[in-house]
A and B are shown apart, each in its own frame.
Chain A
Amino acid sequence: MKKLVFVVVSLLLVLGLVACSSANQSNNNNATTPGQSDKVTDSGSSDGEKIMLRYYTSGRHDIAIFEEYIEKFNQTNTDNIEVEFVGMSENYQQSVDIAFSSGQAPDLLRVNDQTFEPFYKKNYLEPLNDYMTDELTKKFDGLFNEGINQVDGQIYSLPNDGRTYRLIYNQEIFEQVGLDGPPKTLAELVDYADRITQWGKDKNIYGFAQNFKNPKASLERSAAPIVALSGHNGFGFNFQTGRFDFGGYKEVMLAFKEMYDNGSMLPGSESLDIDPLRAQFAEGNIGMYFSFSVEPGVYKDQFPTDIKWAAAIPPTIDGEAKSSLNLTAAGTFISISSESKHKDAAWKFLEFLAQDEFLTDYHEGGYGLSLVPSIQSTANEPDIYGMDGFLMTKYDTLWPVPPTVVPEGRNYTDTFFRFMIEGGDIDQIIEELSRDYNEALDKAIANGEVSVEPDPSFDPSQLISN
């Protein structure tokens, strides 16, 4: 018995040591500069064997076009390359983590504005600079930006499309209530939501709704665009001072709170997800909500509707646009995995997708609005109901990327959502929030995780394109 206890305890100790030693090992691995992995390349199918590439994607809305083009690539490429397409949804990031940590990393993976930084820092992405041709460099000129698709001059993803933020509104309801057009100011937004609710409440029609089940996903597509268009950064960062300042949210959150308090919001908005919201909008029960340019595709395929609806530039605090709307999911598209054994083959697939044919079809099919100047100038506008309201304007540009920090307390979206429901002193809330974020920023700077250079000459109005 004693022996058995000895064996078990020894085993546990060994496991503990293994666990601790692997921590060091992982630290050492992570000490390597991301993107500096040893390059393992292949030279096509010299031995006649098929090169299988696995492509992981989180994109659901563009599955159809990928199926079509992957099929085309598999049939037409002369290097015996076959791309296999693995679609994932909610747990994309975790699935990618598991694939990399278990030695089953894909050859190609989809990246967006949310996953680019963690994937880069985890050393998942292969720099593309060595593969870039003069033709592609020229084609995507001006679309490679630090923190968006490149780090320290190393490109990690070719750009393709971007998504525009808009206010989506039911035109039939607006006509029946006697509203001329979408609201231009916050005061109008609150007023219109109230008037629609007064008119339609008996018929279960409400002025406003948002997918508040996930406060971050909801406020980033509703409050943040209003804040940005009004001249402040939607993530609460002041590029002039290099500090966080959530003051730009004050008027916006007061307006949201007013709509919540006066009953203009669809009942249950606090626990509403985006798809149930869309289902209610498609039924004609919601006057207005905010989202981005995937909505026309959603109402075409997922929630077909007969209602007359449109999209418009979001309102601003005082009716004047003092800066631009930050494009979302813009500038990033597909990266080559640092663990791929077939990087050259993977690049051939990326080159195939970077051709005008795919980029044009992607834009015209309404899967995403092209950022590429040559495509913008030659492609037709997407022929999908409602897409005209989402097309890029001078107000749809890319903001610089603020530093990513995790505050000790609640994040800003949870805090503002709580204010909307429970109330409180908004000035004090903003002050404490800015303090928490700045403390986290100082800590991140001290640890060398981020670097911030204040830019006193930064002028948000210059972001509006000419």
Chain B
Amino acid sequence: MKKARQLWESYTFLMPSFILTIILGVYPIFWAMRYMFYDYSGYGTARFIGLGNFSRLWRDDDFWNSVVNTFIYAGGKLIVTLPLALLLAVILNHAIRGRQLLRGIYFMPTIISNAVMAVVFFIIFNSYNGVLNQFLTKYHIASSNIDWLGPKYAMLTTIIVAIWGAIGNYMILFLAGLQGIPDDLYESSSLDGANKAQQFWYITIPMLGPIMQMVILLAIIISLKGYESIMVLTGGGPIGKTEVMYLYVYKLFFPFNNESSPIEQIGYGSAAGFATALIVGVITIIYFMISRRLNRIF
């Protein structure tokens, strides 16, 4: 009887979020999935075309370009963000003066809207009168203006913006992990003669293992799905140099700008959305398998 009551209470608490997940998470997936096999532009008759959308996707160079760009973007972002976030967390975990203020400053980009952030970075990076170019040319670091948002550097610029926006978030997660490591371990290792570097390598890193696993997983998924700041900063351009998977899919469902052709490609967008979800899912599973194996080894 008691068990039944406990079960009832548990499910009662679970139900609101379960219902919301079904309505806002699961139902839209089914809604989109049914159109994967249809040619549908949001009006008129949805025509069943079997695997037509997928064969088109296979031939679509722009889609595969967006997949490659996503890996470059996510890879570039993660390689810099994670070590830097860990380093900042370790530094700010020590009793240095003003660490609360510094933590707040580093975390601030996380709470700023991506769109606002991208607009500010446009002011910094724009080629003709951007703050960065003015600085570089004034101090003769560059002889002429650099086209930061042009075909050559646009991806680098979007990665820099992404790093700036993400670093504080992961720093906070690492900090939480660091604060869970008992001081006793550091004290006893000091008595055994371990220096700071040895403590970091043999105590901090292994003890951070579980949280690091979670942070890396989150970072991979978020980076592969990120597109908001790119949408505002470059719109995926120029010539698709910063087009990432989710932005590509977004544009199929919601074509940009009232001035451009407002034809939606719901069917094709659903197929592309499914393919991108599959790609992110496969990468997540691969990461899980690797991290599980590493857990067993170490």
Interface residue count on the B side (C-beta < 8 Å): 53
The closest CB in chain A to the CB of B45 belongs to A27
In the bound complex, do residue A213 and residue B147 qualify as a contact, i.e. CB atoms below 8 Å apart? no
Q: Is the CB of A271 within 8 A of B150?
A: yes
Of B34, B122, B261, the residue contacting A114 (CB under 8 A) is B261
A408 proximity list for chain B (CB < 8 A): 56, 59-60
Q: Is the CB of A213 within 8 A of B260?
A: no
Contact between B43 and A114, CB atoms less than 8 A apart: no
B156 to chain A, nearest CB (A): 13
A23 contacts across to B, CB distance below 8 A: 34-35, 38, 46
Q: How far is the CB of B150 from chain A (nearest CB, A)?
A: 5
| A-facing residues in B119-166 (Cβ within 8 Å) | 122, 126-129, 145, 147-151, 154
Complexed CA–CA distance, A335 and B298 (Å): 69
Q: Does A93 contact B (CB under 8 A)?
A: yes
Q: Contact mask B229-267 → A, CB, 8 Å, 1/0?
A: 000011101111000000000000010111111111100
Interface string of B62-96 (1 = CB under 8 A from A): 10000000000000000000000000000000000
Complex partner residue of A268 from B42, B59, B150, B254, CB under 8 angstroms:
B150
Report Cα–Cα, A215/B122, bound state, in Å: 18
CB under 8 Å from chain B, chain A span 265-290: 266-268, 270-271, 276, 280, 285
The answer on a CB contact under 8 Å between A115 and B145 is no
Q: Is the CB of A216 within 8 A of B259?
A: yes
A114 surroundings in chain B (CB, below 8 A): 258-262
- For chain A, residues 19 to 58, give those with C-beta under 8 angstroms from any C-beta of chain B: 19-20, 23, 26-27, 30-31, 58
Q: Give the nearest-CB partner of A408 in chain B.
A: B56
Complex-state Cα separation, A121 to B264, whole angstroms: 12
**Structural contact, A204 and B128, CB atoms closer than 8 A:** yes
| Chain A neighbourhood of B259, CB < 8 A | 114, 214, 216-217, 220
Q: A20-B34, A118-B42, A118-B43 are in contact. Are A266 and B128 (CB under 8 A)?
A: yes
Q: Which residue of chain B has the shortest Cβ distance to A218 in the bound complex?
A: B259
Those 4 A-B pairs whose CB atoms lie nearest each other, nearest first: A268-B127, A270-B238, A271-B149, A216-B260
Interface residues of A (CB under 8 A from B): 4, 11-12, 15-16, 19-20, 23, 26-27, 30-31, 58, 90-94, 97, 112, 114-115, 118, 121-123, 204, 212-217, 220, 266-268, 270-271, 276, 280, 285, 404, 406, 408-411, 414, 417-418, 421-422, 447, 449
